[in-house]
Amino acid sequence: MTLMELGWSSSLQQSFDQLSRPDLTPARVTTVLKDHYRVSAGNGERLARLSGRYSFAIATRSELPAVGDWVAIDAVGASRAVVQTVLPRRSKISRKIAGREVEEQVIAANVDTVFIVSALTQEFNTRRIERYLALVWDSGALPVLILNKADLANDIDAITSELDSIAPGTPMHVISAMENSGLEALQCYLAPGQTVAFVGSSGVGKSTIINRLLGREAQPTLPVREHDDRGRHTTTTRELFLLPTGGMVIDTPGMRELRLWHSVHGLSGAFDDIEQIATGCRYRDCAHKSEPGCAVRRAVDAGLIEGGRLENFFKLEAEQAFLDRKLDVHAALAAKARARKLCKDVRDVSRRKGRS
Ligand code: GDP
Ligand code: ZN
């Protein structure tokens, strides 16, 4: 397997050349362990640790290697390595962790396409999809809507036309992973070197889809056995893996647990009282979830704000943040053109292959 097949590109090569470290080797992070990483340079995987120098140099957690990251490594023996630096990311999917300050944690990097999976059942929720869309637009990856469980759906047209109006230009695919129908259309996002990640609520069928794409019934995750630092055997799960098509899938616990977070936008009018109280929060960017010194939570506890009203405030805030981006229809159309071109390129390749 080559670096290209792992997603290496000319811009990554440029970033790597700028390091002027011919002694290092580029490699992609396939798994993030507790304090180790599994990396692949194309010729098998190595267990890597972070160099002391890099750990000291970084200012925030967001600079730590994430699944999908490209790193520059020092090879150590046949199976070990030291990560010297992380190359610039083309896209990143993050979550904010509430600590003393809200900190960004990168869950997956260098993702080309994010499949936003939902099920065409009772639980179908347009608002939730909007929030996932906002998250993906933020990441730099291309969102693709996957509407699964078509076999259980009543009125697919009503749903697709509603989605067309909230996400003009966003590619959309109706499938049934159970009946194995419609999945051919997903192949064009999974050409060699392409990386896809999945988001969506639990139970919508993400694992089933990944299994279909892998062409086997087993768990999508591939357990790996290796020796840990003390020479014990441990079994862990690979988080970035190759499909038979040559594309890659990122499936990490982090993506699974991804909660929708949102930026704090001013919502004047309806929630003036909450905004007023929020000026008393200890942190200016307080999300009023579980931060210490949160005046809004105190007010809820004291019965000054009704809990349901706060939930509505959160919802509206998220929608507002999304609407701000939704106005950018140009971005949506450009993404559509990109997706079309991508799919066309893949078709051309397979046609050429078919002929030769
Ligand atoms: P995940 O939590 O998103 O990974 O969802 P799973 O892949 O575990 O699927 C949840 C349940 O939905 C399982 O019982 C699947 O068999 C079922 N399921 C997945 N895809 C389909 C589908 O296309 N149609 C129907 N009817 N059920 C499906
Ligand atoms: Zn607060």
CATH number, position 276: 1.10.40.50
Q: How far is the CA of 214 from the centre of ligand 1 (A)?
A: 15
Q: Are strands 92-98 and 102-109 parallel, antiparallel or unpaired?
A: antiparallel
112 and 57 fall within a common domain: no
Ligand 2 centroid–CA 202 distance in Å is 29
Bridge-based pairing of strands 45-50 and 37-40 is antiparallel
Buried b (16+ CB within 10 A) or exposed e, 245-280: bebbbbbbebbeebeebbeeeebeeebeebbebbee
Task: Say how many Å lie between the CA of residue 178 and the centre of ligand 1.
Answer: 7
Predicted confidence band of residue 203 (pLDDT cuts 50, 70, 90): confident
- In angstroms, the CA 173 to CA 144 distance is 8
The model's confidence at residue 250, banded by pLDDT at 50, 70 and 90, is very high
Both 16 and 137 in a single domain?
A: no
Ligand 1 binding residues, C-beta < 6 A: 148-149, 151-152, 176-178, 200, 202-208
Region 210-236: mean pLDDT is 64
SS3 11: helix
Q: Of the bound ligands, which one is closest to the alpha carbon of residue 257?
A: 1
With 90 as the cut, is the pLDDT of residue 51 above it? Answer: yes
Residue 136: which CATH number?
A: 3.40.50.300
**Residue 128 or 75, more confident:** 75
pLDDT of 41 > 50? The answer is yes
pLDDT exceeding 70 applies to what percent of the chain? 78
Beta strands in 120-194 (DSSP E): 142-148, 172-174
Counting ligands in written order, the one closest to the CA of 148 is 1
Contacts of 207 (CB under 8 A, 6+ apart): 219, 220
Same domain, 113 and 50: no
Can you tell me which atom of ligand 1 is nearest the CA of 177? 23
Residue nearest to atom 17 of ligand 1 (CA): 205
- pLDDT over threshold 80, residue 101: no
Same domain, 100 and 55: no
**pLDDT at residue 327, rounded to an integer:** 47
5-34 pLDDT tens trace: 999 999 999 999 999 999 999 999 999 998
User: Residue 61 has which token pair?
Assistant: 């957690």
What percentage of the chain reaches a pLDDT higher than 90? Answer: 46
- Predicted confidence at residue 263, as pLDDT, reads 35
Q: What CATH number is associated with residue 79?
A: 2.40.50.140
148 C-alpha vs ligand 1 centroid, how far in Å?
8
**Which of 50-59, 84-93, 125-134, 292-301 has the least mean pLDDT?**
125-134
pTM of this prediction?
0.75
Among 251, 282, 309, the domain-final residue is 251
Asked if residue 82 and residue 99 are part of one domain, the reply reads no
Same domain, 153 and 227: yes
Give the distance (Å) from ligand 1 centre to CA of residue 209: 8
Please report the pLDDT score of residue 268 as a whole number.
40
Q: Among 45-54, 107-116, 163-172, which is the least confidently predicted range? A: 163-172
Among the atoms of ligand 1, which is closest to the Cα of residue 152?
A: 26
Pocket probe for ligand 1: among 176, 208, 217, the residue whose CB has the most ligand atoms within 8 Å is 208
Structural domain count, the chain: 3
Any idea what the Cα angle at residue 338 is, between residues 261 and 185, rounded to 5°? Answer: 85
Domain of residue 307, residue span: 271-356
Residue nearest to atom 19 of ligand 1 (CA): 205
* Shared-domain flag, residues 145 and 231: yes
Q: Which of 183, 134, 139 is nearest to 326 (CA)?
A: 134
Q: Which ligand is nearest to the CA of 290?
A: 2
Report which bound ligand comes closest to the CA of 277: 2
CA of 63 to the centre of ligand 2 (A): 27
Residue minimizing CA distance to atom 11 of ligand 1:
203
pLDDT: which is higher, 190 or 353:
190
